[in-house]
A and B are shown apart, each in its own frame.
Chain A
Amino acid sequence: MRVLIVEDDAETIDFISKALREGGYQVTGARDGAEGLYLALTESFDLLVLDRMLPGLDGLALLETVRKAGKAVPVLILSALADVDDRVGGLRSGGDDYLCKPFAIAELMARIEALLRRGAKPVAENVMRVGDLVVQPQVRGARRGGRALSLQPREYQLLEYLARNAGSVVTRTMLLNAVWGYDFDPQTNVIDVHISRLRQKVDKGFAVPLIATVRGAGYMLRVPD
């Protein structure tokens, strides 16, 4: 997987690149908008990480040019602007996700993974299977080992999101956004309490736990070998 990072701060490019390389990605960095646009248009990347404020050419203008050129590559926008208007503007210009600086690398990695999986993700209404867990979007229900799980609506939504991203880390922020539509972080980690309830229902009494906590990052629905 090839990732292009367009970001004016060399240090930021540096530590993002390191983390991505550790994750098995090939990384190319560009320090200004013109260079980033040239690379994005002439080479083939699986994902773009784009800083919004760039010298030379603004990140959103770059993005619009890339989209006009017919490139459907997923784009994650990084920005120092946290305002909701900026977020909406970024997504409207063709961005696929928006992450506000300063961010946790784990958050960035999880979102990159989610974006890359988006194309490979099952169709919304299709049944998903993770080991002996079956998630059925059509009836908004789930079964494990042939037994129906009695889930509250929110618990189902959490499980469905985890199942859609099975094998990848999802952060608390991503869960909060996917299930409640919130983009602020509550002062208390309320998501942890929801996950522990979900765990009671999904994993209790089974030899192989499916919901794993990924330290410093979030949660993952583990795909058994």
Chain B
Amino acid sequence: MFRTSVLSAKTFWWTFALVVLLTAGGAFGLRALYRSAEQVLDADVRAEIEDELQRLEEVHADRGADRLRRAVAERIFLFRERAPFYLLADSTGLLSSAAAPPGIESLAPGWHVLALPGRPVLARLDVLPGGARLLVGRGRGDRAALDRIAGLTVAVAAGGTLLLGLAASWLIGRSVIGRLESINRLTGEIIAGRFDGRLPGRAQEDEFGRLAAHINAMLGCIERLVAAQRTVTAEIAHNMRTPLTRLRGRLEEAARLPGAPEAARAALEAGLAETDTIIANFNALLGIARLEAETGQADLAEAALTPLVQDVCDLYAPLAEDRGIALALDCDETVRAPADARLLSQAVANLLDNAVKYAPAGGHVRVSVRQGPEGAEIAVADDGPGIAAAARERVLMPFVRLDAAQGVPGSGLGLAVVAAILARHGGRLALADAAPGLVATLALPQPKRPVM
């Protein structure tokens, strides 16, 4: 839930890509327009050239090739100071108003733009009956200036459009991110266990407004369910505990009666032991229910994990030693995580309890605290029988005990309690193969800081 910058948002880049595409399209359009304008400008020149060619060809048709040659020569002389260009190539030779560009002899009949020194010339070449080639050209005016102005116009327009587009993309991106970010922030809070937040109600009936309304409605549902579960839990707690208290009290009272036969006393004590099992399971189940109603990391203070784990190891060390089990600790003292110390101690104690129960005599139990890739990790590994991969999910359910647990005391609630405690921390309990044995890892995620 870190703040998304506008530059890293997809919305911004898609919008900007669209603007670039539109700008490219616009530039292409402007180019086409320029070409059309050029043709309109050329139209007059073309008409003049066609008239002149017609006149000269009439001279050639009516009065012969010599007369045409003279007419061309006259025109070259008359217009020598000006742009027109004449060229006649016939059997007597080449007649031209200026140095003809190279390759002019092989020019195909039709329209051409000739790059004469200093001026572009639009010209048409006709092939006259008898094989003479007549070319008439006229200057096109100062096209370079026009080209410059047109190029500049296109560049300014495209640049301006891009800049405006960039600004618009930025604004759109920011607005979308702002609204998505408030949704992200809220859903982050839900994951962290706070259900009372709501998205600001939006008057406009757009897709964001509807999304906000749906999320708010969904939150209402979750909040009602959690409240209902809490009520049920509290009700069960209150209604079951009084009769259990009475039952236990009466059994104890009976067991204390003076003069009771030894057999009766033994039976009463067995009854007391069973009652204690019921009470322990009942407490564990209520504990799980309460924990599940408070999932997430909300309101947990950060704590150093190593001292907490060491204390639990202290508690179990003599028991492990008595069973001939080597208990080894490998702790990174710097590791910290948001934790409810009491609950987390209980989780580690449950894991150690299991490890010491299942490790064989002469076996090993290794406890480690380290910084994993996604946060703090507490791992408890034993070299006992382990748990088959297929059963690892199942043993986290309340009251599930595997065949390997036959003959080992336990309620089948230990791992379920650990899983619930980890959920309360926004983390999870993972079981894996320690080859041989089982490694149970408590993964406590890095605290998620709310966005500013």
Contacts and interface: CB of A to CB of B under 8 A. Distances in A.
A208 B346 CA distance: 37
B349 A80 contact: no
Contacts of A104: 248, 252, 276
Contacts of B244: 101-102
Given A105-B249, A105-B252, A190 B238 contact: no
B258 to A, nearest CB: 10
B428 to A, nearest CB: 21
Which secondary structure dominates chain B's binding surface? helix
Interface in B315-370: 315-316, 318-319, 322, 340, 342, 345-346, 349-350, 353, 356-357
B241 interface: yes
A65 B313 CA distance: 43
A38 interface: no
Nearest to B242: A9
B409 to A, nearest CB: 8
A81 B237 contact: yes
A53 B249 contact: no
A12 B316 contact: no
Interface in B195-253: 234, 237-238, 241-242, 244-250, 252-253
B401 interface: no
A80 B350 CA distance: 24
B74 interface: no
Given A18-B253, A81-B234, A185-B280, 18 more contacts: A11-B250, A15-B246, A16-B249, A19-B252, A53-B238, A102-B248, A102-B279, A103-B245, A105-B248, A106-B252, A180-B315, A184-B342, A184-B346, A187-B411, A188-B356, A188-B357, A190-B315, A193-B319
B352 to A, nearest CB: 9
Nearest 4 A/B pairs, CB to CB: A15-B249, A102-B245, A80-B241, A102-B244
Interface string A16-46: 1011001000000000000000000000000
Interface of B: 234, 237-238, 241-242, 244-250, 252-253, 255-256, 269, 272, 275-276, 279-280, 283, 286-287, 290, 311, 314-316, 318-319, 322, 340, 342, 345-346, 349-350, 353, 356-357, 409-411, 414
B242 A190 contact: no
Contact of B242 (A12, A19, A197): A12
Interface of A: 9, 11-12, 15-16, 18-19, 22, 53, 80-84, 100-106, 154, 176, 180, 182-188, 190, 193-194, 197, 216
B287 to A, nearest CB: 7
A104 B318 CA distance: 27
Contact of A19 (B253, B319, B345, B346): B253
Contacts of A103: 245, 248
Contacts of B255: 216
A219 to B, nearest CB: 15
A105 B249 CA distance: 7
A16 B340 CA distance: 34
Nearest to B291: A83
A180 B280 contact: no
Nearest to B250: A15
Contact of A22 (B248, B256, B356, B411): B256
30 contacts: A11-B246, A12-B245, A15-B253, A19-B253, A81-B234, A82-B237, A82-B286, A83-B290, A100-B283, A101-B241, A101-B242, A101-B245, A102-B245, A102-B275, A105-B248, A105-B249, A105-B253, A154-B314, A180-B314, A184-B342, A184-B346, A187-B409, A187-B410, A187-B414, A188-B356, A190-B318, A193-B322, A194-B315, A194-B318, A216-B272
A202 B248 CA distance: 34
A4 B29 CA distance: 97
Nearest to A15: B249
Given A82-B286, A184-B349, A190-B319, A12 B253 contact: no
